Amino acid sequence: MEQVILVNQHDQELGLMEKMEAHKKGLLHRAFSIFLFNSKGELMLQRRALSKYHSGGLWTNTCCSHPRQGETVLEAAHRRLDEEMGMACEMKQAFHFVYRAELDHGLTEHELDHVVLGFTDHQPILNQEEVMDWKYMSLDQVAKDMQAYPEHYTEWFKVVFNQVGETVALWQKQQQANKTSSNLQTVPA
């Protein structure tokens, strides 16, 4: 039985609850969303498997899930990226946000979602029980496609997409400025 960590608006732990019960009751819980970019600045999207308990068949960020009790967000991100996408890369937490969305199957997603960024040119090896497809797209292409076909994307992805784009643009400007003074690459905190 998979559990989620219930939290308050300040990400302080309040207890544990079975995952489906938390989604039926719409209780705030800790989650994370991974956004991986390649060297061209394109975002790796995944299409959720049709058998997922909600949002099956929809396009979304590279990977997302919930940390387990005693697991940091980054530990959970590395674990889940391997489980879903068969990948590993360096990642760093960028920011978090809270959202609430009514989903299919009578479920409510109410999450304090930690956004994790990573950069890699590796190809995924999909876990077909979790992910049915993947692709790289530029942020401009994603924005245009999401505007034309919002029903093809998960609710949380639509909520956070612009903020991720702004964070990555800031990171790229910092990276460009750093190239003139050093070869040090960092991800914004």
Residues annotated as part of the active site: 64, 111
- Computed from CA positions of residues 85, 86, 89, 92, in that sequence, does the dihedral angle turn out positive or negative? positive
How many CA within 13 A on the CB side of residue 174?
Answer: 12
Which token pair is 147? 């505007």
Beta-bridged to residue 18, according to DSSP, are 3
Q: How many residues does the chain have?
A: 189
How many other CB atoms sit within 10 Å of the CB of residue 138? 12
3-state helix, strand, coil in the chain (%, to 5): 35, 35, 35
